[in-house]
Amino acid sequence: MISSVRFPILIVLSVMLLACSYEQQYIRHDQIQARARYVAVLPMVNLSSYPHAGRIVGDILTTELYAQSGFHLMEQSLVISRLRQNALEIDDALDKTEVLDAARELGVDTVIYGSVSEYRYKRGLNEDPVVGVNLRMIDAKSKKVLWAGSKSKTGGCFWFCEDSLNRLAQEVCNDLVAEMVAQ
């Protein structure tokens, strides 16, 4: 009797966990060739109401790229200083022309840019973290988008545990980078 009750409960819990995430991607794996790319990660545009969410997620994304990809990454502080030095306002860069201008100024052949659409705690019984990230990888020479991905995820735990925005952002960035560099 107890096992017949557990099975429906496990199915309901599984469906609830799977319903807390959404992901969409566009990939040109044959053109990415990780080891040959010199990549700049531009500052992420913060579309959320959380202060500095773009900077937080951008730093996490860069760490995940170092850990998982074979890309030769331009150091983030160098990216920011060169953009400021050349008077490029790239803080809100979602326009392809601005991104290509930044790539030319930085001397890289690939740029990763995007936005943070959600970075907050969702109100309810528990305050579960919610993170949404949108990324694009563009080749500066061909001006083609090589990869694009979006992922939105709700964290949360049952009963005696806590979940944080930072941990969830790490998970979202980890998943996006894993898909970006998968062969």
In sequence order, the 6+-apart residues with CB closer than 8 A to the CB of 29 are: 182, 183
Longest dimension (CA), the chain: 71
Report yes or no: 147 and 137 within 8 Å, Cβ to Cβ. Answer: yes
| Domain locations in the chain as residue ranges | 21-181
Which is it for strands 145-154 and 21-27: parallel, antiparallel or unpaired?
Answer: antiparallel
Amino acid letter at 180? Answer: M
| Cα gap 25→43, rounded to integer Å | 21
3-state helix, strand, coil in the chain (%, to 5): 45, 25, 30
* Second CATH level (architecture) for the domain 21-181: 3-Layer(aba) Sandwich (3.40)
Q: Would you list the DSSP string of 164-182?
A: -HHHHHHHHHHHHHHHHH-
Would you give per-residue pLDDT tens digits along the chain (183 residues)?
Answer: 555 655 555 454 444 444 455 555 556 655 566 556 899 999 999 999 999 999 999 999 999 999 998 899 999 999 988 888 877 666 666 778 888 988 999 999 999 999 999 999 887 767 889 999 999 999 999 999 999 999 999 987 666 667 889 999 999 999 999 999 886
